[in-house]
């Protein structure tokens, strides 16, 4: 089920205005995947300063739209437990309201975040990004992510490429690049 989060963010802004509180979100995860047409999501993972009052407002907004889950609010900051806050150079403003700014990481930065986490869903997401972009250059992606400051396990990256293009492609890549790969292990 794809959720249009724009009206949700608008209501969040309205609720923040009632307490005269400005909030900045840096969104990542499935929400960014949804914005780029890769898959739908039911929650928004974001970096933001959380407190009891903010969580109460988030819950109220989620209850209004019926999008909170029993174990998790529609907007949560749990991503900050797994990842460092992205540098602003890799973020763009999605919505600018009077009391709420919604930023998103770019898809390249999200790829690095997902590879660093290494969870199965994240690897599937990376494989979809790689496949749709028709990126058949693991070494260049590895270098790009390294330049962004990520510490990527090359085996995770290659696993995502195998998911994207199949085991025959991956075997051929290993064979053709054996010496270069040995330097990375």
Contact between 83 and 117 under an 8 Å Cβ cutoff? The reply is: yes
Among 105, 137, 161, identify where a domain stops: 105
**Same domain for 101 and 17:** yes
**Same domain for 91 and 117:** no
Among 105, 127, 146, identify where a domain stops: 105
Residue 149 in any domain: the answer is yes
**What domain range includes position 143?**
111-184
Among 105, 121, 142, identify where a domain stops: 105
Q: What is the pLDDT of residue 118?
A: 87
Residue 139 in any domain: the answer is yes
**Same domain for 101 and 41:** yes
Residue 27 in any domain: the answer is yes
Q: What is the pLDDT of residue 51?
A: 94
What Cα–Cα distance (Å) separates residue 68 from each residue in 55, 61, 164? 12, 9, 32
**Same domain for 65 and 123:** no
**Same domain for 128 and 84:** no
**Same domain for 139 and 53:** no
Residue 1 in any domain: the answer is no
pLDDT tens, residue by residue, 13-67: 999 999 999 999 999 999 999 999 999 999 999 999 999 999 999 999 999 999 9
Q: What is the pLDDT of residue 120?
A: 94
Whole-model pTM: value is: 0.91
**What backbone torsions phi and psi does residue 76 show, to the nearest 5 degrees?**
-145, 160
Q: What is the pLDDT of residue 168?
A: 97
Side-chain half-sphere exposure of 163, counting CA atoms within 13 A: 18
Q: What is the pLDDT of residue 183?
A: 87
**Same domain for 127 and 81:** no
Count the domains in the chain: 2
Instruction: Give 33-48 as a DSSP string.
Output: HHHTTS---SSEEEE-
**Same domain for 98 and 10:** yes
**Same domain for 176 and 130:** yes
In 72-177, where does DSSP find H-type helix? 107-117, 120-133, 138-147, 154-165, 167-176
- Spans in the chain with pLDDT lower than 70: none
Contact between 39 and 124 under an 8 Å Cβ cutoff? The reply is: no
Q: What is the pLDDT of residue 61?
A: 98
């Amino acid at each position: 089920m794809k959720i249009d989060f724009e009206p949700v963010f608008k209501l969040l802004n309205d609720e923040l205005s009632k307490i005269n509180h400005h909030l900045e979100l840096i969104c990542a995860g499935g929400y960014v995947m949804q914005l780029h047409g890769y898959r739908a999501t039911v929650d928004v993972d974001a970096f933001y300063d959380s407190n009891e009052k903010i969580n109460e407002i988030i819950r109220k907004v989620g209850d209004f739209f019926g999008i909170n889950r029993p174990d998790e609010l529609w907007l949560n900051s749990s991503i900050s437990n797994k990842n460092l806050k992205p540098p602003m150079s890799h973020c763009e403003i999605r919505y600018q309201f009077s009391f709420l700014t919604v930023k998103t990481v770019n898809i390249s930065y999200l790829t690095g975040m997902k590879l660093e986490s290494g969870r199965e869903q994240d690897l599937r997401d990376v494989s979809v990004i790689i496949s749709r972009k028709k990126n058949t250059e693991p070494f260049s992606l590895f270098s790009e992510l390294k330049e962004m400051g990520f510490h990527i396990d090359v085996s995770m990256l290659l696993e995502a490429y195998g998911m994207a293009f199949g085991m025959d492609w991956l075997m051929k890549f290993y064979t053709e690049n054996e010496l270069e790969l040995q330097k990375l292990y």
